[in-house]
A = this chain, B = another copy of it.
Amino acid sequence: MNELKGKKILMIAGDGFEDIELMYPYYRLAHEACADVVIAGAKAGQGLEGKNGLQVTTDVAFDDLDPSDFDALVIPGGQSPDHIRIYPEVIRFVQDFDKTGKPVAAICHAVQILITARLLKGKDATGWKSLAVEIEDAGARYIDKPLVQSQQYIFSRQPSDVGFFCDAIINALSPGESAKAADMVRAT
Interface residues of A (CB under 8 A from B): 1-3, 5, 19-20, 23-24, 27-28, 30-34, 52-55, 159-164, 166-167, 174, 176-177, 180-181, 183-185, 187-188
List B contacts of A2 (CB < 8 A).
Answer: 185, 188
Would you give 12 A-B contacts (Cβ < 8 Å), ordered by A?
A: A1-B181, A3-B184, A27-B162, A28-B28, A31-B162, A32-B166, A33-B163, A34-B163, A52-B54, A52-B55, A176-B187, A180-B180
Taking CB atoms, residues of chain B closer than 8 Å to A159 are 27
Which residue in B24, B32, B53 is a CB contact (below 8 Å) of A52?
Answer: B53
Is the Cβ of A188 less than 8 Å from the Cβ of B5? yes
Task: Kindly report how many copies of this chain are found in the complex they form together.
Answer: 2
- Contact status A27-B163, CB under 8 Å: yes
Main secondary structure of the interface of A (DSSP, over half): helix
CA–CA, A180 and B186, complex, Å: 13
Given contacts A23-B24, A52-B53, list 14 more A-B pairs with CB under 8 A: A1-B181, A3-B188, A19-B54, A20-B27, A27-B159, A31-B160, A31-B163, A32-B162, A34-B163, A52-B54, A174-B188, A176-B187, A180-B180, A180-B183
Cα distance A20–B184 in the bound complex, in angstroms: 28
Closest to A146 in B: B31
Which of B32, B52, B184 makes the CB contact (< 8 A) with A177? B184
* A176–B184 alpha-carbon span in the complex (Å): 9
A53–B161 alpha-carbon span in the complex (Å): 21
Q: Which chain B residues border A160 with CB–CB below 8 Å?
A: 31
Instruction: Using CB atoms, name the residue of chain B closest to A34.
Output: B163
Q: How far is it, in angstroms, between the C-alpha of A31 and the C-alpha of B161 when the chains are bound?
A: 7
Residue of B nearest to A4 (CB): B188
From B19, B174, B185, A1 is in contact (CB under 8 Å) with: B185
